[in-house]
Amino acid sequence: MTGSPVSDWTTDYDVFDPDYVADPYPVWDDLRDACPIAHTERWGGSWLPTRYTDVSAIAHDVEHFSSREITVVPQPEDDTSAVGFAIPVPPIDSDPPMHTWARRLLLPWFSHRRVDEYEPVTRDLCNRLIDGFVDKGHADAAADYAQQIPARVIALTLGVPGDMADTFTGWVRDVLEFAHDENRRTAGRDAIALYLMEKMEERRSEPGDDLISVLLHTEVEGEPVADMHVLGTAALTLIAGVDTTWSGIGSAMWHLATHDEDRRRLLAEPELMPTAVEELLRAYSPVTMARIVADDVEVEGCPMKAGDRVLMNFPAANRDPEIFEDPDRVVLDRAVNLSVIHVACLSSKVPPLPNGGGRESFPARGRPEVDAAVDRVAVDLRELVGREVQSFERGDVRLELRDAARSDQGRGDPVDRLPHPGRPAGTRPGSAELLRPGSR
């Protein structure tokens, strides 16, 4: 558990340590040199790889590392929820061969064609959100914008009302950000399960063209897809689609707010948007997940035992100086970007893909399952980058979007937070303060 200060990050790291949450990069830099794969007994015990090669190798080693438990914090074995059963989230909590067909069921929903269909709707949504607060001269970047987009787009996929965006976001935050709070996590999980089970019953008799309807009427090897699988896939689509995407949007907005030269360059060179989005996702990777050691194995001298938990530190891997030149700097036109990006959570069990210099990675671009999230972020940046974004120094940074013509108007009240890559996926409190009076 947490509580006492960390005295040695190589043997006693704490992913909930406030200083680590605020700024994990120095810790990762030190660990890569001193102990590339750290260990701790806190929070049930786990291993923490920090090098790109180790994270990539573990991600591809399906023989020794299982996805059966993906949470950063171990979940209690006894179920006290109203639902009365644990909800799977295929394909990310499954191993081959199940993972193969479970992933295949979802891929069409994140294909290039499907993403192209979403773009006009998403672009219109971005404009309407901005129109909703532009006359005020200020807005909460997280609650009024970043969190509103993915929930509404995912609602289209699931065929559920978009006006429940705030409710969906609240449930997702309970499940992920407060994973270490059993009561809150269970309440959020139950709410999602009960809601989706109700929608499943509706679609069973009155199917539409949404994901739930299609899965309910799909067969795999001559057998209908099990209800539990449909429920879990719908829950994953909601949870992962909302959390990782608004995290990516929020981090991109935070960067542009605190790096005026990059914001101005994107305005002057909009053709950089594709590489800029990839680079922002590399620098501010939105998720860390876990693997469970299936059989005893040694990784770079670390004796991992069956049942051990390994935290897949994608954010640290994407800042590895052995792979990325000047890794802590966002380079909008970075020519070679081999980042391990796990945005859409569908690429966790795929064959190695050669990508330059014999290295293996999950390419950010060109992968349909990742494009859905990447393109949404790109749309959001294109809509917002021309507006004045003001902020103060990082820490627990809050952002305020302010129309340049109305910068003398009131600052409003802080509502919510934008994400930060130091927070464990599914457990991070996010970040986004408004400008304080007199802070400029």
Alpha-carbon span 158 to 156, nearest angstrom: 6
Maximum Cα interatomic distance, the chain, rounded to a whole number of Å: 66
Residues 6+ away with beta carbon under 8 Å from 198: none
Alpha-carbon span 365 to 344, nearest angstrom: 12
Per-residue buried b or exposed e for 378-396, using 16+ beta carbons within 10 Å of the residue's own CB:
bbbbebbbebebbbbeeee
Considering only CA atoms, which of 148, 238, 241, 246 is closest in space to residue 193?
Answer: 238
Domains in the chain with CATH codes: 18-406 (1.10.630.10)
CA distances from 115 to 40, 112, 156, 384 (A): 41, 5, 12, 20
Strand-pair partners of 298: 303
Alpha-carbon span 12 to 89, nearest angstrom: 30
Please, are residues 231 and 192 in contact by the beta-carbon 8 Å criterion? no
Strand-by-strand arrangement of the 46-49 sheet? 37-40, 46-49, 309-312, 289-293, 65-66
Strand-pair partners of 302: 299
Considering only CA atoms, which of 85, 136, 177, 183 is closest in space to residue 407?
Answer: 136
Residue 39: its H or E element: strand 37-40
pTM of the model: 0.78
Model confidence pLDDT, tens digit, residues 377-423: 444 444 454 444 333 233 333 445 444 333 333 333 322 333 344 44
Coil, helix or strand for 78?
Answer: coil
Model confidence pLDDT, tens digit, residues 208-220: 999 999 999 999 9
- Token pair of 227 as six digits: 């209800």
Bridging pattern class, strands 289-293 and 223-224: unpaired
Model confidence pLDDT, tens digit, residues 98-147: 999 999 998 898 888 888 888 888 888 888 888 888 888 788 888 888 88
pLDDT tens digit at each of 440 positions of the chain: 557 999 999 999 999 899 998 899 999 999 999 999 999 999 999 999 999 999 999 999 999 999 999 988 887 665 555 666 678 889 999 999 999 999 999 889 888 888 888 888 888 888 888 888 888 878 888 888 888 888 898 999 999 998 898 899 899 888 887 777 888 888 998 999 999 999 999 999 999 999 999 999 999 999 999 999 999 999 999 988 888 888 888 888 888 888 989 988 988 898 998 899 889 989 998 888 999 999 999 999 999 999 999 999 999 999 999 999 999 999 999 988 888 754 334 333 332 322 332 222 333 333 333 333 334 344 444 445 444 433 323 333 344 544 433 333 333 332 233 334 444 433 332 322 222 222 22
